[in-house]
């Protein structure tokens, strides 16, 4: 059995971590973004299907392509963040099952129906997006997740006409950097155990 992580780790990843709306003028190297992904990819998914795809946007040119598809209230957060990640789902993820689930490559057929692929992509891809946020926090970064954007616009701009990505669909966006504490709001309440849970 593993020992629990210490309170510093719990605070960093969960208890004092916040969703940020603004960023310090502090660079985040690509090597750190790669390290975030290398942690996030270890999170579990159904049959290791790993349907999430991540588009890490860093250059001003790429941000300007994203900007018109983001709701006005989110644009400054997107444009000033060192990185913005489009967390997307690959609706043809099953093609990689033989690579990712080698002890049972025939599991690819479990996802032969488009409806089954979409259901599993949405569930597991969202999990992977959350893993990415937890990994970023664990490595000292802050996150600003958001769903206020035009999904069709983002998909057309970044996926539709690019070889290998035309079956990707955006799920949510996440700005990544070193958060500016002056841009966060008071923490909102959370539901108590008795309100949100049952013990049977």
Joined together, the tokens standing for residue 150 give 């035009």
Q: 151-163: string of b/e by CB count within 10 Å (b at 16+)?
A: eeebbebbbeeee
8: enclosing H helix or E strand: helix 7-10
DSSP 106-119: GGGGGG-SHHHHHH
CA distance 150 to 156: 10
Tell me how many degrees the CA angle 60-133-34 measures, rounded to the nearest 5: 60
**pTM for the model:** 0.95
CA distance 81 to 47: 34
Residue 124 confidence (pLDDT): 98
CA distance 85 to 77: 12
Residue 77 confidence (pLDDT): 93
Segments in the chain below pLDDT 50: none
Give the residue extent of every domain in the chain: 19-180
Choose which CATH entry (3.30.450.20, 1.10.10.2520, 3.40.220.10, 3.40.109.10) describes domain 19-180. Answer: 3.40.109.10
Unique residue bearing structure tokens 């040119």: 61
Residue 2 confidence (pLDDT): 83
Residue 161 confidence (pLDDT): 77
Residue 72 confidence (pLDDT): 95
């Amino acid at each position: 059995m593993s020992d629990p992580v210490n309170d510093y780790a719990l605070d960093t990843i969960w208890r004092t971590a916040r969703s940020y709306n603004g960023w310090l003028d502090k660079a985040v190297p690509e090597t750190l973004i790669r390290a975030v992904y290398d942690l996030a990819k270890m999170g579990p998914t159904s049959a290791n299907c790993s349907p999430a795809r991540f588009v890490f946007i860093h250059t001003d040119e790429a941000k300007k392509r994203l900007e018109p598809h983001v709701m006005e209230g989110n644009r400054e957060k997107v444009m000033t963040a060192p990185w913005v990640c489009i967390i997307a789902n690959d609706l043809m993820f099953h093609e990689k099952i033989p690579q990712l689930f080698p002890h049972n490559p025939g599991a690819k057929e479990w996802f032969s129906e488009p409806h089954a692929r979409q259901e599993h992509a949405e569930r597991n891809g969202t999990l992977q997006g959350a893993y990415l946020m937890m990994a970023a926090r664990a490595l000292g970064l802050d996150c600003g997740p958001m769903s206020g954007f035009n999904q069709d616009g983002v998909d057309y701009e970044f996926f539709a006409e690019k070889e290998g990505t035309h079956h990707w669909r955006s799920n949510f966006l996440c700005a990544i950097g070193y958060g500016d504490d002056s841009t966060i709001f008071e923490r909102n309440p959370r539901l108590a155990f008795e309100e949100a849970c049952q013990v049977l």
